Amino acid sequence: MKNHFLVFGLAIALAAPSAVAAPYIYPQKGQSQQQQDKDQGECHVWATKQAGYDPTMSGPSAQAQTRSTGRGAVKGGAVGAAGGAIIGAIAGDAGKGAAIGAVSGGLFNGLRRRDQNKQAEAQANAYNQNQDAGRAEYQRALGACLEGRGYTVR
């Protein structure tokens, strides 16, 4: 029963959307389903070691990394307004200072957030490229193992 869970997890991982399609595996020598499940489980372990990649492990979501809200600009505007009001009060016009502070604080934080989003997006793209390369190496190793055990892998 333990092998069935491993094979089920492997099937789910290989079926996940990616740039590399999951392989089709056909038993050339009439292997039973139980034998195929065992072979796939053992080959999964071997391929994971060879490729240094495990498709059953998930990583950070690029969408979660790059998602942003406007709270940074609002918070920056509030902090800027408070600072501007203090400086404006010293100069004789607290209201004008608060308005200038709010605009500049909001703008500064908005630009900072945009730069953070660009950096997060670049990191997510690099991560996804590494995942795709790891997945391809894993599938190549898995195919080699299964072919060595008498399966056709395409």
Q: Mind listing the pLDDT tens digit for each residue in 20-35? A: 578 899 999 999 999 9
Whole-number pLDDT of residue 108: 73
Please list, in sequence order, all residues whose beta carbon lies within 8 angstroms of the beta carbon of residue 111, skipping any fewer than 6 positions away: none
The three-state DSSP-derived secondary structure of the chain is CHHHHHHHHHHHHHHCCCCCCCCCEEECCCCCHHHHHHHHHHHHHHHHHHHCCCCCCCCCCHHHHHCCCCHHHHHHHHHHHHHHHHHHHHHCCHHHHHHHHHHHHHHHHHHHHHHHHHHHHHHHHHHHHHHHHHHHHHHHHHHHHHHHCCEEEC
Q: How do residues 64-101 score in pLDDT, each as one tens digit?
A: 433 444 555 556 556 665 665 566 666 666 676 667 76
pTM confidence score: 0.53
Indicate if the pLDDT at residue 109 is higher than 50.
yes
